[in-house]
Chain A
Amino acid sequence: MIPESYLWEPVETLALILKWLLPPAYLAALWAYGRAFFREQGNGDPVSVAKAAWAAPLAVHSGLLFALAATFRRCPLWTQGEALLFLGWMLLLLHVLSEWSADTRRLGVFTILPAALCATFSLFFLGRELELSPDYRSSWFIFHIVASLASYAAFGLAAVLASLYLTQHRKLKAKHFDRTFRRLPPLDRLDKLTAVWAFLGTLLMIASSAIGAWWVRRDSLHGMTVQEAGIFVALVIFLGVAASRRVLGWRGRRHAIGVLWGVAALAFANLWLHGFFRA
């Protein structure tokens, strides 16, 4: 009789292969986008090289998530590594949407970078990660966390665009018309894209908070944790940013700075304050 551990598990093998393919797929995409942004002259048209550069990471990343789901027979969101991998996937999806809506590939090298970092970092976490407390393993958790990660991805993208806005703004004010200035899209477009993603993130975070609040109340899980309080502060900042844009006309630089403050608060709450996961 052959021990069960000796049997070949095709789905697990596929997950293992995809896990190792993930960083090279992102690297290839980053290389293509980097060429489109930085290369001014040379052989070939760099922008056409970057066409659908996201296809390989999207295929590998989606495949890995499905393979993990098939292996564990559950939604791959119950550990920190899985959550980070899922966040990377959401960031990649939003990158594709952003490329389509901004109608330029020049931003690709910046907007795909957070997805690449999340995906690569998650690989170090997978296997020796903090696990979700059993009390929280509910389908409500999945709705809550998916909306929450989608909002983080939208905020992440908004933060990248806000940083690019501030870079371009600084260059315009300093009359420093270098290659980065020439390659980045117009200020107005960067401002509008930042506003769209930040607003979408705010809506998703409101939805996530509402689901979460309803769920913990129903199951009498806990009161507001320190981390949730921190996230709530970040949500208030984002609401303030959206309202000041609408009511006071705080567009451009002020809006970009507001978005970055919101993302900083969110990062602080998630990285330094205690939350769902336990050692």
Chain B
Amino acid sequence: MTALKSVYRRTIQNIKANPVLFMPFAVFAAFEFVSLITIYLAPRMPLKLLLGPVIRSLWGEKFLHYPVNFILMPKLVSLARVCLTVFIGSLLTGVATLLVYNIYKGIKIDLKNIFKLALKKYISLFAIVLLFTLLFYLLDKITPKILVKYFSSGHSKLLFLGPKIWLGPILMAFNFTLGVIIQSAFIYAIPILMIEKESLTKSILKSLILFKKLFLKTLILIGLPMLIYIPISILQTNSAFLIVKLFPESVFLMSTFSLIINALVIDLIITLTATHLYLMHKNE
């Protein structure tokens, strides 16, 4: 059985020797950064003309004014990230997977060719990412709704605990676990699709089977880097605290920092280690 230690060692060695592995994640970070700047400048002219009516009708006029716009910023950034992940991240994950595969097999890297190959599989890549994003999004929305309904219908406790605990730390831990499990279940679908050239359905099914086989290892590979995101996530959900205690622009700085950590650390580690584990397991 492939040891996690060797997966990490192999991944780090490959990143050091092939900085090209950063490329897809840096490109994604660049797109995210452009979206962040756009959101930051949304209440200002000339972007206000374009984004102002949308923000006004969906969230309200106050979010177009300083410093209230910073309260909405994390939500908008997260929405933009979801869209970018589905439309662009899917393609770039395909590119990253092929890059790892070529490096692993000692094939000379031809970025143009890799990009073309990923582009050919774009619809399937898009479908996989859309599927797990939607799944996570739906479950993420349903759980708090069920809890709110339970507590608002007159119950004061659930398993000896009150609504504050359930809707606070327990919900956060639950969402984190849910995110790790859903991502773990689908993580091998893109390597299978790109490397084994399987169909979309088979890739997803095989990914689920492989997840069952490598259950604990996959959970650790996905969950460990995601732990880094917890303190950032807590700060982002309390943007009002940052505005009052520091200064409004600290929310923008926090979003920039979160973007870098997300794209260039968490996503990079998860995608590369999972592909390495998949390749190493395949070769056993």
Pairing of A with B: no
